[in-house]
Amino acid sequence: MANETDNSTATRGAGGKFAGLLRKPAALRLVGSLFILELGSAMTTVGLPLLVMQRYGLGLEVGFTLAARFLPNILLGALAGQIVDRYDPRRVAMFAALGSGLVVALFPLTTAMWQIQLLALAIGVGYMFSFPATMALRPQVIPEGSELEGNGLIVTAERVPKLIGPALAGPIAAGLGIGWLFCAEAATAVAAAALLLRLPLLERPAAEAPSAPAAPAAGAGRPGPVRWVAAWARALAGGARELVHMVKDDGRLSSLTITAFTYMVALGLGRTFLAAYSLEEFEGVPAMLGYLLAAMGLGGACGALLTARLRGWNQGWVYILGNALEGVCWIALIWTGSWVVALALLFVAGVFESIASVVYFAEVQKRLPTQLTGKYYATLVPLSDVFLVGGTVAGGLLVGVAGIGWSAALVGLAMAVPVLLLVSRLVPEKRLPAASAAPAVAGGVLS
């Protein structure tokens, strides 16, 4: 009875926190901006390969063009974190959105493949700044204690456009032409920036405001650009060391970071596996890959909103179960020959994936100081892209050599095994100092 009462109280509290967030203009504008931006990006994800194939046929150019969007983040993502932390993240996110919108609008005007690839690189530069800037804005618009609900809304705002965007792209491309897909993203970028323009921000505490690096005495006689580069390099190295120490000292935070990388390997494997799976197992169902991805996306949108109901649980266990049960769903694909069952399994996998993602973002937000948020994500995302690319390449080799069955098993194991190995580090809560722990214990939940 006590457990039922606790769960009921947690559920009512979650509903109240959701209602409270929906009454906060700052949180709504951030979530709305992200939703609109992702909607336009989802349409370009459909339009860009179609544009390349329509003009230049199917070949390596499609792969190179899509890969070009990841290169800036892989090579220079860590530098973006320095800029996000030094300047107003709202302005960084706005300029990144507007710049990406301008670049996307130029795609229909290109006349050569190298121009398309150059524009794809420019889009990657915009994403390199926009993602860490958005992450840095979260603690300023999501009140303390509402991390699960706030990040649930943010993950939903990321997942739903992946369903709506492709669905809108088909009729637009068929009725108006592919070029209008890029015009649509340009319009959404302007709308997303406009929402951020009116975003009221909380003032940073004085202790968290980044201070300008002092010029070293040893370099006082060097030319200005050399001193600037040296100071920038020292600031970058110092921020990286600070981030490593912060992650290392918190068992849950370091384990979350490690399993984020292993999950990206599993995701890369899964993308390749699903393409082969849809063709081999459901040859008679046209566009089955799209249905499978849509089912997982729909599950992700539902799971993000359900996470707050698990507030009364230890969040380490929620994260472990989310990843492990998603892995079980992927492995279960081996034994189903029904497209209905396959869609159901991937819907459930999407629910678990989204729950684990919300917990990940919420736990990182609670444990990471605001002044390190930009550096953390600017370091994490480029490395994650490397692991994603590695998993995708490995998946191509694996499916060809081992076949569908073993590939599904490996995808599931890559999701489940790392979190199970790190149970002892993910489950314990980080203990707070006695002065600040008392309110949390009184509330029944460690923050």
Position 18 scores a pLDDT of 52
CA 153/CA 84 separation, integer angstroms:
23
Domains and CATH numbers, the chain: 9-200 (1.20.1250.20), 239-426 (1.20.1250.20)
Position 61 scores a pLDDT of 60
CA 62/CA 18 separation, integer angstroms:
42
Question: Which token pair is 27?
Answer: 């949180």
Best CA proximity match to 155, nearest among 350, 339, 387: 350
8 Å CB contact between 157 and 33? no
Position 229 scores a pLDDT of 56
8 Å CB contact between 248 and 375? no
pLDDT tens, N- to C-terminus, the chain (447 residues): 444 444 444 444 455 555 555 556 777 788 888 888 888 887 777 677 667 767 776 555 655 666 677 777 767 766 676 677 777 888 888 888 898 889 988 988 888 888 888 998 888 888 888 877 877 787 777 777 777 777 777 777 777 887 777 667 767 776 788 788 888 888 988 998 888 887 765 454 444 444 444 444 444 444 455 665 565 556 555 555 666 776 777 888 889 988 998 999 898 888 778 777 877 788 776 557 667 877 887 888 788 778 778 888 888 899 999 999 999 999 999 887 788 898 899 999 999 998 998 899 888 888 887 777 777 877 777 777 778 777 877 776 777 677 778 888 899 999 999 999 999 888 886 554 433 333 332 233 222
8 Å CB contact between 361 and 154? yes
CA 331/CA 408 separation, integer angstroms:
5
CA 394/CA 168 separation, integer angstroms:
32
Residue type, 406: W
**Total-model pTM:** 0.62
Position 417 scores a pLDDT of 94
8 Å CB contact between 355 and 307? yes
Question: Which token pair is 209?
Answer: 């405001």
